Structure 1
Amino acid sequence: MEWLHAPWRIQYILAPKPPPGDGSLFTRIAQSNDDEANLVVARERSCFALLNRYPYNGGHLMVVPYRQVAELGDLTLEELTELMQLTQRCVTALKRVMNPDGFNIGLNLGRAAGAGIEEHLHLHVVPRWYGDTNFMPVLADTKVLPEALQETAARLRAALQMLPR
């Protein structure tokens, strides 16, 4: 078995977390009007998409229902459908903007499965390129992203606006 180590994620793990009862990070972003500061790239009726501030790779998006639910079975049919439709649009936009060789797409449900925000499910869309795992994270404890998050968000926002809904 091979192991993929992601030491750059320690910033997220060690970052201060809001007190319980304030709603999830995603609930606060959903209610905010500052999409640029929150790296939101698209909003639909029941869900939205944003760049991960602590990405595994450049272009790492998360698609999130507005309603805070922890379990896939708690989504309505409308939320579930729109979650997948927005994911599909995000993949298309990422292909146009970043030209990846493939994608990892998935949910981490529950702490044991690796959910960092377990109270609010979210779908990860991670673009992948041949050779995107290299010596920098392993030897230098550094993840190289090809452009600033705000620039990636702006390019994806523009690409998503051009796609049919």
Structure 2
Amino acid sequence: MKNLWNPWREEHVLGREEKYDYCIFEPPTEGSDSKEHLLLYRDSHAVILLNRFPYANGHLLIAPARHIADITELSSQENETIMELLQVSSSILRGELHCDGLNIGCNLGEVAGAGIASHLHFHIVPRWEGDHNFMTVVNEIRTIPVHIAHTFDQLVPAFRELFQIRHPQR
């Protein structure tokens, strides 16, 4: 029998995860990325974070930088930026993690499944052939084979390069 270790999920599973006094999509840090906050990319229009409680390795969250709750509140520039970042992030995930597919979605409102309904965000979940087995169905447990800190280190260079391409003057 093999052990599946996902120690960073323990606090979440037990309902004891750290409560933040700020919106996770507005981390109180300077710069375009932060490992502490799992922030891979930030500019004046949008942010990209690794999901602290992922469905799969490399699960990203893309949100407008502005605190809004609904897709209908996006400005044209925010909408354009987020769609572009969804495209580029998909390419980065395929290139860096070699995933076989991606789930991309957005839950609007608590009743629709939004865990943080007050700040609009999109999910990109990498998928691999056979990635979820009986564990999810039988025990409602997901297995994630790579530590989130390693995934951050693997992805952040590509997002730093993206930031430099989009903002060459910085």
Q: Same fold (TM over 0.5)?
A: yes
Superposition deviation, residue 112 in structure 1: 1.0
Q: Distance in 2 between matches of 1:154 and 1:16?
A: 23
What root-mean-square deviation, in Å, do the aligned CA atoms of Structure 1 and Structure 2 show? 2.6
Tell me which residue corresponds to 2:44. Answer: 45
Q: 1:5-42 CA distances to partner (integer Å, 9 max, x unpaired)?
A: xxx799269346859xx553323x1x323711111111
**Cα distance, 1:141–1:109 mapped onto 2, change above 3 Å:** closer
Matches within 5 A, 1:22-101: 23-27=22-26, 29=27, 31-33=28-30, 35-101=34-100
Structure 1 stretches (4+) deviating beyond 6 angstroms? none
Identical residues among aligned pairs (%): 36
Q: Distance in 2 between matches of 1:10 and 1:108?
A: 24
**Does structure 2 retain, via aligned residues, the 8 Å contact 1:100–1:128?**
yes
Instruction: Provide the C-alpha distance between the structure 1 equivalents of 2:150 and 2:17, rounded to a whole number of angstroms.
Output: 26
Structure-1 separation of matches of 2:104 and 2:14: 21
Matched length? 154
Structure 1 unaligned runs (5+)?
A: 1-7
Normalised to the residue count of structure 2, the TM-score between the two structures is: 0.79
Q: What code does the residue aligned with 1:126 have?
A: V
Equivalence map 1:125-136=2 (5 Å): 125-136=124-135
Residue 14 of structure 1 is matched in structure 2 by 15
Measure the CA separation in 1 of the matches of 2:111 and 2:14.
15
